[in-house]
Chain A
Amino acid sequence: MRPDLAWGAECAWPEREDQKPAATPWKYLALALLLIGGLQFGRGAWIQAKAWLAQELIAHAWSRTLKGEQQVKPWPWADTWPVARLSAPALGIERYVLAGADGSAMAFGPGHVSGTPVPGETGNSVIGGHRDTHLAFLRHLKPGDALEIERADGRRIGYLVRDANVLDRRDIWVAKQEGPDRLTLVTCFPFDALRAGGPQRYVVFAYEFKNRGGERGTRG
């Protein structure tokens, strides 16, 4: 046995003469990045997919709601249910509004803030939603645009956009009940921000359109 080879590099790295092995960690790194990138992209895409697929399921729950069932869960383990259908005819937009404006409901649709009246009842109905999914259309609303709500009892109520403002997340006065019957739509601002969690909110105020309300009150 040769003493100089007892702990030589030959033993630890026997094939070091070859160029190949140096590429292996590089390849692993690339594959790891590929995996992480794929997961990260998939996570983002999943949020979008979930948001829009859910609306399809909720559409079905809504048709059952209109037939008189109450609190129809769109899928068996859901902890929310549709309470109204919101549409912006000029933009061709239709959204099913879910009960509760918490994160778990808003992943699937705009959420009705519990404690505020259901649209069509006296007061100020507040609806929140994500600026990059269901309520992305708010940026295109202009004063005078029409919005429509279909209620669980089939009644439809027209609203006209009065105003839109950029506010702070702590401006909870927008949920005050005093004043005309109205719809207050809340989403995050700015619309194109990459990250969630910013302090600003984009708030659209729409007042109930009373004149023709009587004619449109019944289901057509």
Chain B
Amino acid sequence: MQTETRPANARIVFMDLIAFVVLAASIALATAVVLVGAVLLLAGRAHASETQHGALLLKSLDGTAAPSAPLLSTDVSFRVSGMVARARVVQIFQNASADWVEGIYVFPLPENAAVDRLQLRIGERRVEGEIRERGAARRVYEQARASGRRSALMDQERANIFTTRVANIGPRESISVELEYQQTLRYDNGRYSLRFPMVVGPRYIPGNLKVASADASGWSPNSDHVPDAARITPPVLRPETGLINPVSLRIELDAGVPIAHVSSPYHRVEVRSPSASRRVIELAAGAVPANRDFELTWAPRVGAAPQLAWFAEEKDGRHYGLLMVLPPAADPGARLAREVVFVLDTSGSMAGASIRQAKAALEMALARLAPGDRFNIVEFNSSAHMLYADAQPVNPRNVRRAIDWVRSLQARGGTEMASALRLALDGTDGGNRVRQVVFLTDGAVGNEDALFRLVRERLGDTRLFTVGIGSAPNSHFMSKAAEIGRGTFTYIGRIEEVQAKMAALFSKLESPVLKGLEVHWPEGLRAEAWPARIPDLYAGEPVVIAAALDRLDGELRVSGLRESRAWEARVPLARHTGAAGMGSLWARGKVEGLIDSIREGAPEETVRIAVIELATAHRLVTKYTSFVAVDKVAARPSDAQLKLAAVPTNLPEGWEYDKVFGELPQGATDSRFAMLTGALLLLLALAMLFAPRRWRLT
């Protein structure tokens, strides 16, 4: 019996082996074909939906510098004391050409900078700038320019975008503009941070574009939604042609208390420590190209962190003060059930490093959601899309699906932010859940005001948290949108920061807020404080107010409620620390309050008059007031022509030029390729089906 079965068995095993090999080979082949097909399909989709927008295509967009553009370098020095910084920014315009040149430079400053001084420096001579109403300043400047005198003009375009113009720079001559500003530092979760933005990232300009005027220096013409688009879109150099606009930077830091740790996350710095509470910081490289924000953060030594600070200065018979009070940390209370809507910017400006950071942050956020919460995701570029029609419960399947969806998203196209905000702020209130919108974006848009109005109108009981992504986020958008959205803002500038920054944000999202904050001034004291309404505070945030007072006596009380438990702090006003520049900070706060009131319905003309009066008294650059400085003597001969040239800027680090500025339309489909490969596969299949049996397996 056994001897009979052995050969048969052997043959069967041999046949099995062959069949197995053939089966495996065919499965592998089929899988490969399916995979190739899927890749082609996906690739086809990627090509087919390549989006262009007119705003990204127009006007002298060759990505190279105009030959007569002056070379620009910037020298920045900070003096930081406590929670206030004073900065001096020297912009050196160097005309390398043989012509007389007028240079225009569009640059960013911190969104809360109070610019209160400008000097024009010609060799050893200095001409002090004056604050004038914007139109008047421009007329003074234009007159001086026509008469051949060297002159400088500085306008504010946005809270964080400024323009300097310098006229009549002689052949091979250098002229400097020196400006100074005062700024309150951010104090959050036990760390101070000082941010110095270096470049205005290319902004998306929504709306219908108008025909560009000949002397406009921006890469975008104005549009009906952004009537000053040409003023906020400085020409951008292709990064391959080299990085320009070197910046050198020096910070003298006097924290007032022993410092534990200083860090500069985006630039290498050298730090010297003259004493426990002082540091001197300089860029290790000497100078860096202006292509990403600089940030310095430091923490006081444990136990040395101030819970309360009160700085004051007397000026023209009035006292100006800055108050910082840090409420004690909240007890980890009961975790609130939440409905979270994540909004992810997938526009062209996010392509590259930014989208990787944003996706990592979003994935981490999804993983952190708890059962019982609900969530949804909105992604937007030229149009907005939602993952689910309604918020879905958090469970492994939904989260898995969301993560897969997020991973498949690509950054390209325009930044139609309004449609995304409409989807996220849809009037629902999350029922008995706290409804939170987490908005991950670089804020590269030119229509901030329209978006702020939209947030204000549609917010309801939702809270909006902005997460500024990338090397040059629009800080004005991040902070103001979060302020109006009654949330808070976070910056992520590198993929390595995602973990820590998002964890800090979550502790804010999950802890109870301190609300109903009020400031009670002593009886009989005349005080005017900004912001007029103190926003709700999230974990780790201090109360910061700037005030003008007629005298410094009595006791100030700050009170609030956290989960129906009262909190109160008392400040004896007479016990202040002397500090300079408090008047500018107060005036800057008031200007912001006045301009914000336009959104709440105040007539713009009334506001404009009030701002001009205030800004003139405190020598501040605002939306309505500009600095102008004019030299006394004429320099340019009347027969020499003046050439206008915009200083080009770098593309922010990590951005992709072609994704931002678009390309010529993609004019092809994959139809022929698909039909050809399809036909070949069909032929092969038919051949296999009808081939004579003896060809097979042998």
Chain A interface (Cβ within 8 Å of chain B)?
4, 8-10, 12-13, 16-17, 21-23, 25-34, 36-45, 47-48, 51, 79, 101-104, 106-107, 111, 113-117, 122-123, 126, 128-133, 135, 167, 169-177, 186-188, 193-198, 201-203
Contact = CB atoms under 8 A, between A and B. Distances in A.
Given A37-B677, A115-B54, 10 more contacts: A9-B12, A22-B22, A28-B26, A32-B33, A34-B682, A34-B686, A37-B681, A43-B41, A104-B49, A116-B58
B678 A40 contact: yes
Nearest to A184: B664
Given A22-B15, A40-B681, A45-B675, A172 B60 contact: no
B26 A29 contact: yes
A203 B663 CA distance: 13
Contact of B666 (A16, A51, A172, A188): A188
B663 A169 contact: yes
Contacts of A43: 41, 44, 671, 674, 678
Given A28-B26, A47-B670, A175-B58, A101 B665 contact: yes
Interface in B659-691: 661-686, 688-689
Contact of B679 (A41, A128, A173, A197): A41
A12 B9 CA distance: 12
Contact of A130 (B33, B55, B669): B669
Interface string B48-59: 111111110111
Contact of A187 (B668, B684, B688): B668
A25 B22 contact: yes
> Which 4 pairs show the lowest CB-CB distances between chains A and B?
A115-B54, A128-B665, A41-B678, A37-B681
B118 to A, nearest CB: 35
A109 B689 CA distance: 40
Nearest to B690: A30
A27 B52 CA distance: 47
A172 B664 contact: yes
B54 A113 contact: yes
B663 A170 contact: yes
A197 B43 contact: yes
B29 interface: yes
A202 B9 CA distance: 68
Contacts of A175: 57-58, 664
A36 B57 contact: no
Contact of A177 (B48, B212, B674): B212
B661 A187 contact: no
Interface residues of B, number: 74
B670 A44 contact: yes
B54 A177 contact: no
B668 A177 contact: no
Contact of A39 (B37, B50, B52, B668): B37
Contacts of A111: 665
A192 to B, nearest CB: 8
A47 B686 contact: no
B141 to A, nearest CB: 27
Nearest to B11: A16
B658 interface: yes
B417 to A, nearest CB: 17
A196 B678 contact: no
Contact of A197 (B12, B26, B47): B47
Contacts of A28: 26
Contact of A47 (B29, B212, B413, B674): B674
B293 to A, nearest CB: 28
A102 B681 CA distance: 31
B673 A195 contact: yes
Contacts of A103: 47-51, 666
Nearest to A37: B681
A173 B59 CA distance: 8
A17 to B, nearest CB: 8
A202 B51 CA distance: 19
Contacts of B568: none
Contacts of A107: 48, 669
B669 A26 contact: no
Contacts of B672: 44, 132, 194
14 contacts: A22-B696, A26-B688, A29-B29, A32-B30, A103-B48, A107-B669, A113-B52, A113-B57, A126-B665, A129-B667, A187-B667, A188-B668, A197-B47, A198-B668
Nearest to A174: B664
A203 B664 CA distance: 10
A161 to B, nearest CB: 17
B390 interface: no
B667 A188 contact: yes
Contact of A102 (B19, B52, B55, B686): B52
Nearest to B383: A79
B2 A4 contact: yes
A114 B53 contact: yes
A99 to B, nearest CB: 11
Contacts of B34: 36
A40 B382 contact: no
Given A30-B688, A44-B678, A175-B57, A22 B664 contact: no
B658 to A, nearest CB: 6
Contacts of A177: 58-59, 211-212
Contacts of A169: 658, 663-664, 666
Contacts of B574: none
Given A30-B689, A196-B666, A196-B669, A39 B678 contact: yes
A116 B55 CA distance: 9
Contact of A26 (B12, B22, B50, B413): B22
A37 B680 contact: yes
Contacts of B674: 40-41, 43-44, 47
Interface string B410-447: 00010000000000000000000000000000000000
B632 interface: no
Contact of A44 (B15, B675, B684): B675
A41 B48 contact: no
A196 B26 contact: no
A122 B671 CA distance: 36
B666 to A, nearest CB: 7
B565 interface: no
Nearest to B62: A173
